[in-house]
Structure 1
Amino acid sequence: MVSSPWSMLLKLRCVTIDVTGTLIAYKGELGDYYCMAAKAVGLPCPDYKRMHEGFKDAYTNMAKQYPCFGYAEKMPNIVWWKSCVKDSFIRAGYEYDDETFEKVFKRIYSVFGSSAPYTIFPDSQPFLRWVREKGITVGIVSNAEYRYQDVILPALGLEQGFEWDFGVFSGLEGVEKPDPRIYEIALQKAGNIAPEEALHIGDSFRKDYMPAKSIGMHALLLDRFKSPDAENWRKAGALVLPDLVATQAWLTAENSSSQEAASYT
């Protein structure tokens, strides 16, 4: 980012931001929710490690076969997830009859369509409101399906019209990070603004920083969990900050530049 006598904030018309790992985080482990669903219908709790690995493989396979939650195939969201969850159990070594699986799946689908498995970082709502109060448009950019927009974010206190202005969700747009087109869609939704008038904030070098920078946007990364990769991100030229409090301070500092962020990293 180019240094100037003004704060970065004065150069921006739009801030786009990632969701998971940036604004919100998962509570507990995947196994917790799969175990609760199984126990609720009288089944023994699945093995956490096997369940985690099974889900990871099943999700990767579904995302490859039917990207963006089946967007191109017009696959209903619930159908995509049912296939993914069933495959997760099978890969973990659990094969239930259809009636039993249906009961387990309904509980899993319901809980992950609510705010229950998530927690919001305490600095998320104040930061987004502060940005909007400065007259800057806020956009959400996420590899997520429609329930993030319609249910999960509002239930966590992040509402459209209050904390954010527009959303670009892969399940609704048919494009997902790290495809730079998802950021181009965001710029269009922000009012066809120039890339240099926008800043993207995320937690992935590959999915957030690189594609946003590739189309000319400003970008920075949050390292909320002290990732071992953070030092490599810095070496590659990325601005890395610990949280949105430090981001707000950086945005308002005169001569905002990556070097001046050193005190926060």
Structure 2
Amino acid sequence: MINTGSHLVAKNLARFKLITFDVTDTLLKFSRPPEMQYALAAKRHGCTDLNEPALAKCFRSNFKRMAREYPNFGKCSTYDWQWWWRTLVMDIFRESHAHLDHERLNRIADDLIEDFKTSDCWTKTEMADEILETARVHCKHVGIISNFDPRLRDIIGVMNLPTVDFIVTSYEVGDQKPGGKIFEHALSLCNSRVLPCEALHVGNTPHLDYMGAKQAGWSSVLVNIDSASEKGVSLDPEINPKHVFRNFSEFIHVLKTVELKW
């Protein structure tokens, strides 16, 4: 357990009345790659000749296509989020394993929609509990802002993360990060007035989290930045390298030892 009473931590966070966190790859991450989870679901329905690399390739291409054609899990279309995920799953398997019949694909899709609500599919990132506890000690309001569908509340519940004041999903708000409305909505959920300059958002994606929060008038930090994205982060002149951390352990260490300039 970290010393959340550190004087320097308090000084670094003194200006903030609200701290919010992204979820996927920030507080939580998949316990196994999506293609492996898809293969496990298919095997439960008698599919044994599964090619996981093919599933992974089809997942990436079809997820991008669905996000482009039906943004925000279909929120502004005539379809709902469950249709969105069911269609994605079916298209992935049709493209990678064309012999699967519609009835079996439908059962696999239904299983996966439920599977990803459970703790079997998720694990906490390192020191996720500690950073939430630190935020709770030093700030009046702590929340979650995520581009996600309504299952997020179930997921947060089963993962036993420390309590937050609110959970904001893009689907329910009708706006995705980096859009400003989702950040405005988070401010409106605080039980006392919080100005944008009094809010800090913590996430792992430069465009959606860091720049989205900055454009909304908030402060922002990037965490859990892996080697694949470090080059892009370092080359972006709008991202302050002093606000980029490899993990929560590094972020907490800096909060305790360095006076940050926001």
How does the TM-score come out when normalised to structure 2? Answer: 0.86
The answer to whether residue 59 in structure 2 is matched with residue 58 in structure 1 is no
Q: Report how many residues are paired.
A: 249
Q: Deviations over 1:110-167 (max 9, x none)?
A: 2112121111024111221221122431111111111112x11111112xxx521111
- Over aligned residue pairs, what C-alpha RMSD do you find? 2.3
Which segment drifts farther, 92-101 or 22-31? Answer: 92-101
Q: Which amino acid aligns with 2:182?
A: I
Aligned-residue sequence identity (percent) comes to 27
Q: How does 1:24-173 map to 2 (within 5 A)?
A: 24-73=28-77, 75-149=79-153, 151-158=154-161, 162-173=162-173
Matches of 2:165 and 2:49, distance apart in 1? 41
Q: Deviations over 1:219-245 (max 9, x none)?
A: 111135x32432542452241112223
The residue that corresponds to 1:175 in the other structure is: 175
Matches of 2:99 and 2:210, distance apart in 1? 40
The residue that corresponds to 1:211 in the other structure is: 212
The residue that corresponds to 2:5 in the other structure is: none
Check whether the contact 1:115–1:153 (CA below 8 A) recurs between aligned residues. Answer: no
Instruction: Check 1:234–1:8 CA distance in 2 against 1; reply closer, same or farther (3 A cut).
Output: farther
Instruction: Check 1:252–1:136 CA distance in 2 against 1; reply closer, same or farther (3 A cut).
Output: farther
How does the TM-score come out when normalised to structure 1? Answer: 0.85
Q: How does 1:12-23 map to 2 (within 5 A)?
A: 12-23=16-27
Matches of 2:166 and 2:53, distance apart in 1? 37
Check whether the contact 2:25–2:125 (CA below 8 A) recurs between aligned residues. Answer: no
Q: Deviations over 1:56-82 (max 9, x none)?
A: 222222222222212223633322211
Q: Which amino acid aligns with 1:127?
A: I
Matches of 2:215 and 2:96, distance apart in 1? 39
Q: Deviations over 1:195-228 (max 9, x none)?
A: 111111111111111111122211111135x324
Matches of 1:116 and 1:106, distance apart in 2? 16
Check whether the contact 2:183–2:213 (CA below 8 A) recurs between aligned residues. Answer: yes
Check whether the contact 1:223–1:230 (CA below 8 A) recurs between aligned residues. Answer: no
SS at match of 1:105: helix
**Structure 2 stretches lacking a partner, 5+ long:** 1-9
Instruction: Check 1:42–1:230 CA distance in 2 against 1; reply closer, same or farther (3 A cut).
Output: same
Q: Which amino acid aligns with 2:207?
A: R
Structure 1 residue 7: Cα displacement:
2.0
Matches of 1:100 and 1:223, distance apart in 2? 37
